[in-house]
Amino acid sequence: MTDLSALARRHGLTVSGARPALPDYLRALWSRRHFIGAFATARLTAQYSQAKLGQIWQIMTPLLNATVYYFIFGVLLNTKHGVPDFIPFLVTGVFIWTFTSNSIMAGTRAISGNLGLVRALHFPRAALPIGLALQQLQQLLFSLGALVVILVCFGQYPAVSWLLAIPALLLQSLFNTGVSMAVARLAARTPDISQLMPFLLRTWMYVSGVMWSVDKVTNGDGLPHVVTVILKCNPAAVYIDLMRFALIDSYTAGQLPPHIWAVALGWALLAGVGGFLFFWKAEEEYGRG
C-alpha cells in the first residue's frame, strides 16, 4: 500500500479531485474565458428557442413585467404620488432589479442544472455561475435597448450623465456574479435553496424601492435612523438609485445617500471577491454524489 503511494509520488502524480490552489484556479478560469462567453451566448439563445416568438421575448418579458408593476403600484396603489417621471423611474427600477434577481436565481441552478457538463468534463466550476451572470448581463443589454426607447418616449433624452450608467452596471455585474457564486455553492449542497430563493428575492425586491421611492418614504418621520440607513445602503437599492440618477433628469443627487459610489464599490468588491473565494473553497465537491 505504501509502495503504491511511493510509486505515485516518485512519478509526480497528484491526488485526484484535489482543489487547485488559488493562482492555478484563476489561471485555469482565465484560459476558459472563451468557454464562459460561448456558454452565456448559447444559454441566452436557447432560452426562448421553444417559444414561437423566439428572441422577441428578450424584450417582451421585461416590458410586460414593467406594465404589471405600473398597473399595480402606479395606478392601483398610487405609489407614483409625488414621484416625478414615474414611468422611467419604475421601468429603470424593474430592469435593474431583474438583472440582480435573475443572476441570483440562475446561480441557484448553476451546478444542479449543469450536472451533465460538470460530471463529464473538467473545467473550473466557477465558469458556470460566471457564465450565467454574463448571460443575465447580455439580457440586460436587450432590456436597456427597450429602456432607452421608453425614456425617450417620456421625455428623457440622452445626456452626458448617461455615461455614469456604465460604471454603475459594471459594479452591479460584479456584485451579482459574486452573490451568484455564493448561492451556487449553497444550492449545490442544499438544493432546497432554489425553492426558498424566490421568496427571499421577492422580500428583497419590496424593500429595495423598485416601484416606490425609498427617498420619499424615509423623508417622512416615524422611521428610526438605522432603518433609513439600512434601506438606503441595501445593495439593490444602491445600484437602482445610481441608474436612476444616471438616466432620469428629475432624479437628482440630493436623493442619493452620501458616499453612494463608495458603497456601490464596497458591495461589489465584498460580494465579488468573497463570493469567488467561497465558491472556490468547495470546488472539489461540485457534481458529487
Partner 1 sequence: MADKRQSTETAEPFTERERVPTVVVDGVHITYTVHGTKGGRGSATSALSRIVSRRSAPGAREVHAVKGVSFAAYKGEAIGLIGSNGSGKSTLLKAIAGLLPPSRGQVFTRGQPSLLGVNAALMSDLTGERNVILGGLAMGMSREQVRTRYDDIVEFSGINEKGDFISLPMRTYSSGMGARLRFSIAAAKSHDVLLIDEALSTGDARFQRRSQERITELRAEAGTVFLVSHSNKSILETCDRALWLESGTLRMDGPAQEVVAAYEEFTGKKK
How many residues of this chain interact with partner 1, rule: CB under 8 A? 37
Spatial CB neighbours of 155, under 8 Å, sequence gap ≥ 6: 85
Does the footprint of partner 1 cover residue 51 (CB under 8 A)? Answer: no
Does the footprint of partner 1 cover residue 225 (CB under 8 A)? Answer: no
Does the footprint of partner 1 cover residue 15 (CB under 8 A)? Answer: yes
Taking the complex as a whole, the smallest distance from the CB of residue 285 to partner 1 amounts, in Å, to: 8
Q: How far apart are CA 49 and CA 163, in angstroms?
A: 33
* Alpha-carbon torsion angle 197, 200, 203, 205, nearest 10: -60
The one segment of 26-34, 176-184, 244-252, 272-280 that binds partner 1 by CB under 8 A:
26-34
Q: How far is CA 280 from CA 24, 107, 147, 166, 252, in A?
A: 11, 14, 36, 28, 41
Does the footprint of partner 1 cover residue 287 (CB under 8 A)? Answer: yes
The enclosing H or E element of 25 equals helix 22-31
Does the footprint of partner 1 cover residue 284 (CB under 8 A)? Answer: yes
Q: How far apart are CA 102 and CA 87, in angstroms?
A: 22
Does the footprint of partner 1 cover residue 196 (CB under 8 A)? Answer: no
The residue among 44 and 165 lying less far from partner 1, judged by its C-beta, is 44
What is the three-class DSSP state of 282? coil
Residue from 22, 38, 51, 230 binding partner 1 (CB under 8 A): 38
Restricting to residues 109-168, name those near partner 1 by CB under 8 A: 114, 116-117, 119-123, 127
The one segment of 5-13, 61-69, 200-208, 250-258 that binds partner 1 by CB under 8 A:
5-13
The one segment of 2-10, 57-65, 89-97, 269-277 that binds partner 1 by CB under 8 A:
2-10
Does the footprint of partner 1 cover residue 22 (CB under 8 A)? Answer: no
The one segment of 38-46, 153-161, 248-256, 263-271 that binds partner 1 by CB under 8 A:
38-46
Q: How far apart are CA 6 and CA 208, in angstroms?
A: 59
Does the footprint of partner 1 cover residue 39 (CB under 8 A)? Answer: yes
Taking the complex as a whole, the smallest distance from the CB of residue 281 to partner 1 amounts, in Å, to: 15
Spatial CB neighbours of 237, under 8 Å, sequence gap ≥ 6: 207, 208, 209, 214, 231
H helices of 32-164, in order, are 33-47, 57-69, 86-108, 115-120, 127-153
For CA atoms 89, 91, 92, 98, give the dihedral sign.
positive
Taking the complex as a whole, the smallest distance from the CB of residue 140 to partner 1 amounts, in Å, to: 22
Spatial CB neighbours of 229, under 8 Å, sequence gap ≥ 6: 257
The residue among 35 and 261 lying less far from partner 1, judged by its C-beta, is 35
Instruction: Look at phi and psi of residue 222 and say left if phi exceeds 0, alpha if psi is from -120 to 50, else beta.
Output: left
Give the footprint of partner 1 on this chain (CB under 8 A): 1, 4-5, 7-9, 11-18, 28, 31-32, 34-35, 38-39, 42, 46, 49, 114, 116-117, 119-123, 127, 284, 287-289
